[in-house]
Chain A
């Protein structure tokens, strides 16, 4: 069964304090790993897709990396506007089903 586990559940940082969020996954045949940002009361906003181990993608203060068992979202010198819940997801691996399996997310708070 596909599984996605995110840690920590919540993280409070000071502005400028860099850190990393973890997403570990179990799947038979990875067809991509997605990172989303979700603000309160809104739908998830797409950030990155990673397809193979060793791949890295960057966007402003965010960098996502992928290994064969986990992905990291690195946040460098965060600002208060980076506060959000960050979600990790993988496509269903088989059985004819379609869609994404999500982790429960990391609630990130950046204090000024």
Chain B
């Protein structure tokens, strides 16, 4: 069966520090991968999606970047965190529109 792993679960980082969040998927090949952010009082916002290795599309201008070095690995990064980067980050995968499966999320607090 397919599973998605996301870590760490919580993270507290100072302003200006770098960020790396990792997501891996098991049990499927060539999935579409996504990074979402959920801020308090707002819905889930799509940040990045990827349809293959090295292929990254960004939905909103921001301080973050994403990479997909392997088929089932998706990384969210920042060189210098801002206070506004705080939020709940979720990784997800899908095969076309046949269901989107989410990871357990990372709670990021920038202080």
Contact = CB atoms under 8 A, between A and B. Distances in A.
Interface of A: 4, 31-32, 34, 36, 41-46, 49, 87, 89, 91, 96-105
Contacts of A97: 49, 57, 59
Contacts of A102: 43-44
Contacts of A36: 102
Interface size class of B (residues with CB under 8 A): 20 to 34
Contacts of B32: 98
A103 B43 CA distance: 6
B15 to A, nearest CB: 24
B43 A98 contact: no
A99 B42 contact: no
Nearest to A98: B49
A31 B97 CA distance: 8
Contacts of B51: 98
A104 to B, nearest CB: 4
A46 B2 CA distance: 14
B43 A99 contact: no
A43 B36 CA distance: 10
Given A43-B105, A98-B57, A99-B59, A34 B100 contact: yes
A89 B102 CA distance: 13
Contacts of B44: 44, 87, 89, 100, 102
27 contacts: A31-B97, A32-B97, A36-B102, A42-B104, A42-B105, A43-B102, A43-B103, A43-B104, A43-B105, A44-B90, A44-B102, A45-B102, A46-B99, A49-B98, A87-B43, A96-B57, A97-B49, A97-B57, A98-B34, A98-B49, A99-B36, A100-B46, A100-B100, A101-B46, A102-B44, A104-B41, A105-B43
